[in-house]
Amino acid sequence: MSAGTPLENSPAHVPVLYHEVLQYLQPSQEMKFVDGTLGAAGHAYGILQQSAPAGQLLGLDLDPTAIALAEKKLAPFSDRVVVALASYSNIRQEIARINWQSVDGVLVDLGVSSMQLDTPEKGFSFQSDGPLDMRFNPEQEQSAREVVNQYAQTELVTIFRKYGEMSGAGRIAEAIIKARPIETTGQLTKVISSVVKINPRKAHPATLVFQAIRIEVNQELAGISAFLPEATSVLHSGGRLAVISFHSLEDRIVKHYFQLESKDCICPPKQPICTCGHKASIRILTKKSIQASPEEMKFNSRARSARLRVVEKL
């Protein structure tokens, strides 16, 4: 028997806010769902189990290894599942491809899975040594290698500030330029550690640099912005969209979109008469974002930064 790829051998990914997602999506028979970030199919499994015997799910992921794992995990429901190697930003095309008109629920659980983080070959983690990759989609041209070795110093400073919201961006960018060529995550971590003091009470400075590079490589924020209106448009009336984010940059985009689209008028507050003609298309179900319970945070450290927001299509 083959030993499988490193990703297949890594420990399973524990789905965050699992019960809360199911509580909000309320899967039941005959319903159709899209899981836009299939990963290890933890949430998808629950949705299919709860919508038995006739609920259907379309699962998307950009990572072929995640797709293969999810297919295995979802084998008991194979007659009710379609999986596709695609981005959640293309949700509308993917739904049309399988001849669905609209759906009852959409979920995205953004970011990296534990399996991807624990696979040094994917290059997502500063805690192990691997190639500078960080692509969800291995077919994509640009990887972390190009960002780290080819971006101008000013471009690096911009992405570290914008996507890492960090101090010391200038010093780190300068050190990277001097240390080029940088081939591995271990080398990059050393360069960062050489110019930023490590405070044992705070996250390692490489955490934010890696986050910023990953967001840039995968153009994650643009992907989320493109996804939100597409996802809202494929829901039928009463259908729900649930988004789990892991840092304030993602959560801010989701929160602002939900606030804007839940309003009937988006004219400036001081304007006496509405001229925008905007109509609310969604209702917010989570006034404040939902966080994991202390128990969940205790056994799953990833859950600590998770925020769930849910809306219903009007």
Ligand X SMILES: C[S@@+](CC[C@H](N)C(=O)[O-])C[C@H]1O[C@@H](n2cnc3c(N)ncnc32)[C@H](O)[C@@H]1O
Contacts of 80 (CB under 8 A, 6+ apart): 48, 51, 54, 55, 56, 57
Q: Are 29 and 55 in contact (CB under 8 A)?
A: yes
User: Which CB sits closer to ligand X, 63 or 216?
Assistant: 63
* CB of residue 122 to ligand X, shortest distance in Å: 9
Contacts of 108 (CB under 8 A, 6+ apart): 35, 36, 37, 88, 227, 231, 242, 243, 244
39 binds ligand X (CB under 6 A): yes
One character per residue 78-97, x = contact with ligand X (rule: CB under 6 A): ---------xxx--------
Which residue in 61, 94, 104, 133 binds ligand X (CB under 6 A)?
61
Own/partner contacts of 41-46, CB < 8 Å, gap of 24 or more, are: 41/69, 41/70, 41/73, 41/74, 42/12, 42/13, 42/14, 42/15, 42/18, 43/15, 43/18, 43/107, 43/109, 44/70, 44/74, 44/81, 45/73, 45/74, 45/77, 46/15, 46/18, 46/21, 46/22
Burial of 2 (0-12, 13-18, 19+ CB in 10 A): exposed
One character per residue 167-206, x = contact with ligand X (rule: CB under 6 A): ----------------------------------------
* CB of residue 258 to ligand X, shortest distance in Å: 19
One character per residue 127-166, x = contact with ligand X (rule: CB under 6 A): ---------x------------------------------
15 binds ligand X (CB under 6 A): yes
Which residue in 59, 123, 223, 239 binds ligand X (CB under 6 A)?
223
Which residue in 31, 57, 60, 308 binds ligand X (CB under 6 A)?
60
Cα separation, 160 vs 241, in Å, equals 30
Which residue in 24, 32, 33, 36 binds ligand X (CB under 6 A)?
36
For the segment 253-282, give every residue that binds ligand X (CB under 6 A): none
How many residues in the shown chain lie near ligand X by CB under 6 A? 22
43 binds ligand X (CB under 6 A): yes
Cα separation, 15 vs 12, in Å, equals 9
- The pair of structure tokens assigned to 248 is 């304030």
Which residue in 41, 57, 147, 249 binds ligand X (CB under 6 A)?
41
User: Which CB sits closer to ligand X, 65 or 189?
Assistant: 65
Q: Which residues bind to ligand X, rule: CB under 6 A?
A: 13, 15, 36-37, 39-43, 60-63, 66, 87-89, 109, 111, 113, 136, 223
